């Protein structure tokens, strides 16, 4: 983890200070992902099985949730199950209350334009697995989708070495009303959701975080003609912390390490106007990292970690907006006032008591957030992710007669005579 003085860096140095790990844009990775996707796209179920055997070590399986959840409730401690239930209640409540209402606006007397919302028919959910199956991601995806009214959720997750479903994933799935889960992961799972493979149906939209392979597969399938939509670019995790001298160095270090342990490609940054804070956080990171079980991932992420010294907290905000982090923690006095100056971030944790970890699990908002600077234009997963809006226009005969002439004039300004005549047909009909 490096300490960099922003004011001593030239333009190139500043770009490098805010650059993401190279793996995320690795051409070799992109080529490999596209090859997997195209094999599954062209070969269907047989190709999916071959890729799953090669990469996952097991063929895709459709696992029923109910028996796995029943067994999980015997294996997990009561407090663990209750914590999952608490998270599910908070997430469901937040997203149910966030559902947008239909609106109607009378733009002219007799001319009404409505916006109405409809749930997407079928959505694919990708739940990260591997060594640490992220049951929390299932809650963060499925519960907003349920609040939106999505009827068909096709859920995939990488297979476990011992087979079946992770107990916490099974309990979370049951709470979300999911009856079955396909155990298949990686780019091959994204391809199956995009184009369909065997009994896995094609979906209209794919949602969920993942590693660089999953993120690249999502971006690629979304770029194809007729390909499904995706929720957002959600790759390896990242956290940007702004801390002033009043922050607790041990807590700041703990927050940074909480993201570093996700993946060696994760990125954590601290911006502070205090040299003492920078030195103390660096010492705490080193001390705490040595005690963590996922040291390989932590050390890999720390190799790309930076502490940036700034001229002031306002300067740190400017840097954070330029970086556009997935997670932004404001470990400062009067954090609420600082929020008004934040423009680019997936989620903001305002004040020293707010913790990214609490947001990750049970605050209520989804932790599936844009990475790699996508927060400049994308929002995190929410109930809106699973909805689409339509406009509905209605006119009285009197209103149609009133606006047909102006509409025809506008059409002719663009050289579209048929458009103009279609508008005038309304006037002729009402005049007759």
Q: Render pLDDT for 337-354 as a digit per residue (tens, 0 to 9).
A: 999 999 999 999 999 999
Q: Which residues contact 16 (CB under 8 A, 6 or more apart)?
A: none
Q: Whose CA is closest to 210, among 369, 342, 396, 415?
A: 369
Give residue 24's pLDDT.
59
pTM for the model stands at 0.91
What percent of the chain stands above pLDDT 70? 98
Catalytic residue among 326, 367, 414, 424: 326
Cα dihedral sign, 193-136-91-346: negative
Average of per-residue pLDDT values in the chain: 94
CATH label, 2-21+236-364, candidates 3.40.50.1980, 3.20.20.70, 3.40.630.10, 1.20.1260.10:
3.40.50.1980
> Which pLDDT tens digit goes with each residue over 82-116?
999 999 999 999 999 999 999 999 999 999 999 99
Q: Which residues contact 122 (CB under 8 A, 6 or more apart)?
A: 150, 151, 152, 153, 154, 201, 203, 204
Strands (E), 251-336: 267-272, 306-309, 327-331
Concerning whether 356 is annotated as a catalytic residue, the answer is: no
How many residues are given for the chain?
432
Confidence band, pLDDT 50/70/90 cuts, at residue 236 = confident
Give residue 25's pLDDT.
66
- Strands of 2-5's sheet, edge to edge? 2-5, 306-309, 267-272, 238-243, 327-331, 347-350
Confidence band, pLDDT 50/70/90 cuts, at residue 432 = low
What long-range pairs does 37-46 form, CB within 8 A, spacing at least 24?
A: 37/187, 37/188, 37/190, 37/191, 37/194, 37/217, 37/220, 37/221, 39/191, 40/188, 40/191, 40/192, 40/195, 40/197, 41/191, 41/194, 41/195, 44/195, 44/196, 44/197, 44/198, 45/197, 45/198, 45/199
Give residue 158's pLDDT.
95
Catalytic residue among 327, 414, 419, 424: 327
Q: Which CATH number describes the domain made up of 27-101+118-231?
A: 3.40.50.1980
* CA dist., res. 379 & res. 369, Å (int): 7
Do domains 2-21+236-364 and 27-101+118-231 share one topology? The answer is yes
Concerning whether 326 is annotated as a catalytic residue, the answer is: yes
Domain edges within the chain: 2-21+236-364, 27-101+118-231, 396-431
> Which pLDDT tens digit goes with each residue over 45-55?
999 999 999 99
């Amino acid at each position: 983890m490096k300490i960099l003085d922003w004011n001593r860096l030239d333009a190139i140095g500043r770009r490098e200070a805010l650059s993401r790990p190279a793996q995320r844009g690795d051409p070799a990775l992109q080529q490999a992902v596209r090859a997997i996707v195209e094999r599954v796209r062209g070969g269907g179920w047989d190709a999916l099985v071959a890729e799953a055997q090669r990469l996952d070590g097991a063929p895709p399986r459709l696992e029923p949730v109910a028996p796995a959840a029943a067994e999980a409730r015997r294996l997990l401690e009561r407090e663990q199950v209750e914590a999952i239930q608490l998270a599910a209640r908070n997430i469901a409540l937040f997203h149910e209350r966030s559902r947008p209402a239909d609106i109607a606006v009378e733009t002219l007397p007799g001319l009404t334009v409505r916006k109405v919302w409809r749930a997407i028919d079928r959505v694919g959910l990708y739940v990260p697995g591997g060594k640490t199956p992220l049951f929390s991601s299932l809650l963060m995806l499925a519960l907003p989708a349920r609040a939106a009214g999505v009827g068909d959720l096709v859920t995939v997750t990488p297979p476990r070495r011992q087979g079946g479903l992770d107990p916490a994933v099974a309990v979370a799935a049951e709470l979300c009303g999911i009856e079955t889960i396909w155990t298949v992961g990686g780019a091959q799972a994204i391809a199956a959701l995009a184009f369909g493979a065997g009994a896995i149906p094609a979906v209209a939209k794919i949602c969920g975080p993942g590693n660089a392979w999953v993120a690249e597969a999502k971006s690629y399938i979304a770029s194809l003609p007729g390909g499904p939509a995706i929720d957002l670019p959600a790759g390896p995790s990242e956290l940007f912390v702004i801390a002033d001298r009043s922050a607790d160095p041990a807590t700041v270090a703990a927050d940074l390490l909480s993201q570093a342990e996700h993946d060696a490609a994760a990125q954590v940054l601290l911006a502070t106007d205090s040299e003492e804070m920078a030195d103390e956080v660096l010492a705490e990171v080193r001390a705490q990292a040595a005690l963590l079980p996922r040291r390989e991932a932590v050390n890999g992420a720390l190799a790309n970690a930076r502490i940036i010294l700034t001229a002031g907290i306002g300067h740190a905000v400017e840097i954070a907006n330029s970086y556009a982090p997935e997670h932004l923690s404001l470990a400062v006095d009067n954090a609420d006032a600082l929020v008004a100056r934040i423009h680019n971030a997936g989620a903001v944790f305002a004040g020293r008591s707010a913790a990214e970890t609490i947001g990750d699990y049970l605050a209520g908002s989804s932790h599936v957030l844009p990475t790699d600077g996508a927060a400049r234009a994308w929002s995190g997963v929410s109930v809106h992710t699973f909805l689409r809006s339509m406009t509905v226009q209605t006119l009285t005969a009197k209103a149609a007669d009133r606006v047909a002439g102006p509409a025809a004039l506008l059409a002719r300004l663009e050289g579209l005579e048929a458009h103009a005549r279609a508008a005038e047909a309304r006037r002729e009909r009402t005049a007759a």
